[in-house]
Each structure stands twice: as structure tokens, then as C-alpha cells.
Chain A
Amino acid sequence: MEPDSETKLVEAAQNGHLESFAALYERYHSSMVALAYSMLADRDLAEDAAQDVFAIACRDIGSLKSKERFAAWLAGICRNVSRQMLRANKGKPVALGDNPAAQKRDDMEDRREAIRRALWSLREPERELIIMRYFNGFSQGQISEVLDISPQAVNGRLVRAKRKIAKYLKRNGLTGNDYETS
């Protein structure tokens, strides 16, 4: 979508045009689920969070002054909602391998667990990037809009985050060779 047309959609939504808000919802729903997932590590909770994000956006869209930064504004709401959900659940993301059912698992699951641990060893902004990139295969452009950083920065940070993951996995004995033999 052209930035200009998105700004028009935001302006129309601010003036009460529901179809415009619907278009924004369709456009950003998946990225909000991915962003929430990067904090909550639970698909269902992330879906719930995304629903709440759009309810708040629908209510507060009039307060958005920089219409061209709608996606970043939405992402800010998403982070707040996810943090509140984390607090309400009074816990940490579940992907840290504290699931007792995970004790019996095969090599493949061990490798996935190692990757999940590597992901949760990243700083939050890095994890957001990686999860947005691989959750639904968002483009650098889409990630750039939502995270409010330039496409070049997206690329550079993705490379660095992947490097950290590879290093973490190597430290824990998982390399490309192990993965390919699975």
C-alpha cells in the first residue's frame, strides 16, 4: 500500500469511516499477532492481544497525530497490551522450556527447543524482528513500517540477531550440520 493511501485511510478512520478502519485492520492484523507473539510466546494469547490492540486503536484513533506513523502507533499499543497480559498472567513467556511435557521429546524437538531458547536469549527488539520475519514471512518493508525503523536498519539488525542466534546455538552444540542431518 502506498504511504499516501494509508494516510488517507487513517484520516478517514479518524473521521469515523469504518470501512477504512477495516482496511487497516486487514492490513496489520497479522503483524500485530506476530509482534504480540514475540512477547507472549503463545499463539492464542497473541491472537487475543491483537483483538485488544484494534479495540484500543478504534477507540483512540482520534488521538493519533502523525497519521503516517499509524503502524508504529499500533505497535506501541500492541507492546503495552502484551505487557499487560504478561503481568496479568504474572509470568514469563512460556517458550523458555519450562513445559514439563517437553521432557520426553525427540531430537527434532530438542533442536526446536534450542532455537526457542536462542530466541528468548535475544533482546526484545531483536526478537521482535526475528519473529516478524519468520512468523508469517513479512517483508523488510512491512517490518520497517511496524517497527518504525528503516529497511536498511531492518536488514542490518536481522543479520546481527541471526548471528547471535547462530552463536548461541553453536555454544550449545547445534550447527548447520546437525540440522541438515535431521
Chain B
Amino acid sequence: MKRPENDKWLDDALAETIGSKKTEPNFEKWKQGHPQAVEMLTARAARGPSASKSPHSIRIMIMKSPITKLAVAAVIIVAVVLSISVFDKSIGTAYAIEQTIEANRGLRFIHLKYEPAGTGVEEIWAQFDDNGKLLHLRMNFPNTMDGPKDVVWQEGKAEVWFKAKKGIAVLREKNILAQLKMSYKSFDPRLIGEQLYHVQADEKKQIEIQQSRSKNESITITWTRNGFRTVYKVDPETKLLQQFEKYQLKDGEYKFLGRTRYLDYNQPVNSEIFVLNPPAEVVRADQTTQEVGMAKGELSEEEIAVEMARQFLEALIDQDYAKAGKLIANVPAEWVKQQPFGKTKYIRIVSIGKPVPYTNTGSLRVPCKVEIEEKDGKITVQSIAPCIREVYGQPERRQIIDVF
């Protein structure tokens, strides 16, 4: 391949696609929109030119003495107690988002549910180590394009159970793992606590805290932004997030979008939850240890898709279900025989059409026509469309991910 820096067309194409109208920094406007931040900065001037430096070095010198350390610790405790009581008296509140952040530090296990069930995740279990690092994650998706699927993540590996297809794929593909973790992060109460803390610090953002009036009443935090509103409920005793609801502004009203409820915190972990226990007929394709599908070689995406569709149909015609299974994801012949296309008697290929992108799965769908023999011996023409995509973690190979 030519070195791309010589490819002027690529420079032009990128500049045209990404290139944007010049940004116009306007500090005066920014300043007007952020008076509190500006005030915090200018207040530093009042502390003198070395405000950011000297106290630090002085503190280091003083803190070298153990007695001083104890004395300072005692003073800090007194100051914190005093500041809490002053805080209480001045604004009549007991709760601050920092308390939720602090409570979240002790989280080792969470279990949550999202409703209403849509195409996304419905239920999540997550376990953390003593440093708060994610150890195990399970996410159940009841309604995806692949049908219902349960995903378990641990040790840099994901196991995906495609329930309708009766198959489990074991993956180590970085993008998929990153997507899983990213998807989980939207629900992570620890990140939500930090986000609320930062949002609250920016006075431009609209955030309201309604204190609880009794032990049975939750603390309510409402964040309104860009036509969306999120209402968080916090347990007044534990300070942990109980649930949050999202709303979208439509026709002058905030309409309910969905609710996430935290069902369990730090309950004894049933390790079975992070293990997929499928029925015996479910096949398992470990893509971390096996080569899957077919090597792409020098073929274009369209060419390899057509070639794989042809080989798949030929394998079905020859009743070579082991070969057909290998093109799918190294699934066994027995599994192929259980599928609708494994139970059909194929006679010959009539046509193989031009591949077309299949929705947003990143796959190419190859529309084909085949002659089949019906049960009564009648010969008819049937449409069949294998979908072909890159094998996760094996970028040089392609596999059939679905057959329509």
C-alpha cells in the first residue's frame, strides 16, 4: 500500500468530513456564564502570589513530627464536627452528595433492574474486589436483535448465551468487552455519585436536593439538563442510591423513559450468578481458543461474503453439516441439523445476490435463492440469506452470524 501521507485524496476526504467551521473562543461570554468558577479563581489572588505553593511545603515540614500529626488529626476531626453542625444550622440540611460517594466506597456487590424492558439491558449483577475493581459482571438482555441473551464478563473474557439460537460464544474481543463495561457504567452507582458531585459543583447546572423528613422518606436529587430530567432517590440511612428515573421533555411535559432500581447491595454473593448454566442442547463456541469461520485472505468484504454464502449453501446441499457448522462459529453438525436450514433438503443454488449491509450489526447479508424439495416431493424455490461478519478477536476471519 502507498504511504497514506501521499494519498492526497484521503487528506481531502478527511478534511471535508471532519473539517468544521472555526471555533470562536469568547472568553467574555464564558466568564458571564461561569461567575462562580471565575470567583473561585480570582479569590486565589487574595491569598497572595504563592498561595498554591507555600502552604504545601510548610505542611510537609510540620507533618514530619508524629506528635504534630496527632495534633493535626485531632484538629481536623474537631473542624469536621464543627463544620457539620454549622452546615446543619445554616442551611438546615444533613445530606450531601459526598456522603453517597463515601458510602459507595464500601460496595462489593450490586444487583439492579431496569424497567421497562426494552432492547437494552434489563438486569445486572456486579462484584468488585476490595479496591473497588470490577471482578465479575452479568448482564441480561431480554430482547435484542439476536433474541434474548445473557452475558457474563470476567477476567477479560465474555461469554454470551444466545438463548434463541441455543448457543454460547466465548469472546475476548476488546471492543465488545469495552462496550459491555461502558454499558454497565451507565448504571454504576459509584460513577453516578461522582457525576452528581461534579454537576452540583457547577452552578450553571440545574440540580436540586430535597432532604428526607423521616427515616422512611428517601432523599430526592433532581438533575434537569438539555430536555432531560433524572430523579435519583437516596436511602436516608445508608446514603446509597435506591433508584433513578429518567424523563424527557416532550410537548411541555417530562415523559417517563425508564427506571433503574438497585435491589441488593453487598449481599452474600452467589457465585452461580456469574456462571452460565445452559441446558445440554446449547452448544458452546470458544472463539478465544479456536479459529472460527473462514480466512478472508485477499478478498474484499463483499467477495468473502458471497464466497461464504456459496460454501454454506453447498455444504447444506451436500448435507455436510460439519462444514456448515464450521462456517457459522465452529458449531457442531448436530446443532446445525436442529436449525430450520438443517432440516431442509436443498437441491441446488439458483442465485447468489449482491451483499447488502444488515442493519447496524456490521454484517453483510447475502440474498440467495435455492431450490428445495418439499416433504411431498415438490420442488420449489426458497429465499435464504446468510449474514457474514468479522469474527470478534480474529480480524482476518469471517463467520456466518445468522441465516434468514
Contact = CB atoms under 8 A, between A and B. Distances in A.
Q: Lowest 7 A-B CB distances belong to which pairs?
A: A16-B45, A16-B44, A29-B25, A162-B4, A176-B9, A58-B37, A134-B18
Contact of B1 (A26, A51, A58, A163): A163
A87 B42 contact: no
Interface string B43-65: 11111111110000000000000
A30 B22 contact: yes
Interface string B1-15: 101110101111111
A52 B30 contact: no
A134 B5 CA distance: 13
Interface in A71-108: 84, 87-88, 90, 96-98
B22 A167 contact: no
A159 interface: yes
B10 A162 contact: yes
Nearest to A38: B18
B38 interface: yes
Contacts of B198: 56, 84
A148 interface: no
A15 B52 contact: yes
B contact residues, range: 35 or more
B301 interface: yes
Given A16-B46, A112-B17, A136-B23, A163 B4 contact: yes
A179 B186 CA distance: 39
Contact of A55 (B15, B49, B204, B301): B204
15 contacts: A13-B41, A14-B52, A16-B42, A16-B46, A30-B22, A51-B33, A51-B34, A54-B34, A56-B198, A56-B202, A96-B360, A97-B360, A163-B1, A165-B10, A173-B302
Contacts of B246: 90
Interface string A53-70: 011101101100000000
Interface residues of A, number: 60
Interface of B: 1, 3-5, 7, 9-20, 22-23, 25, 27, 30-31, 33-34, 37-38, 40-52, 185-186, 191, 195, 198, 201-202, 204, 225, 228, 246, 300-302, 360
Contact of A62 (B1, B44, B225): B44
Interface of A: 13-18, 21-22, 25-26, 29-30, 33-34, 37, 43, 47, 50-52, 54-56, 58-59, 61-62, 84, 87-88, 90, 96-98, 111-112, 115-116, 119, 130-131, 133-137, 158-159, 162-163, 165-167, 169, 171-173, 176, 179-180
Given A134-B19, A165-B10, A26 B25 contact: yes
B52 A135 contact: no
A87 B49 contact: no
Given A26-B27, A51-B33, A165-B10, A16 B47 contact: yes
Contact of A25 (B12, B27, B44): B27
Given A54-B34, A58-B38, 14 more contacts: A15-B45, A16-B47, A22-B31, A56-B37, A56-B202, A58-B40, A62-B52, A115-B13, A131-B18, A134-B17, A137-B15, A163-B4, A172-B301, A176-B10
A21 B27 CA distance: 9
Contacts of A96: 360
B9 A179 contact: yes
B306 to A, nearest CB: 13
Contacts of A166: 1, 4, 7, 10
Contacts of A112: 16-17
B181 to A, nearest CB: 12
A179 B12 CA distance: 9
Contacts of B3: 159, 163
Contact of B37 (A59, A159, A169): A59
Given A16-B46, A56-B198, A87-B185, A61 B22 contact: no
A14 B4 contact: no
Contacts of A18: 31, 38, 41-42
Contacts of B4: 159, 162-163, 165-166
B195 A59 contact: no
Nearest to B14: A134
Contact of A37 (B20, B31, B302): B20
Contacts of A30: 22-23, 25
A173 B217 CA distance: 61
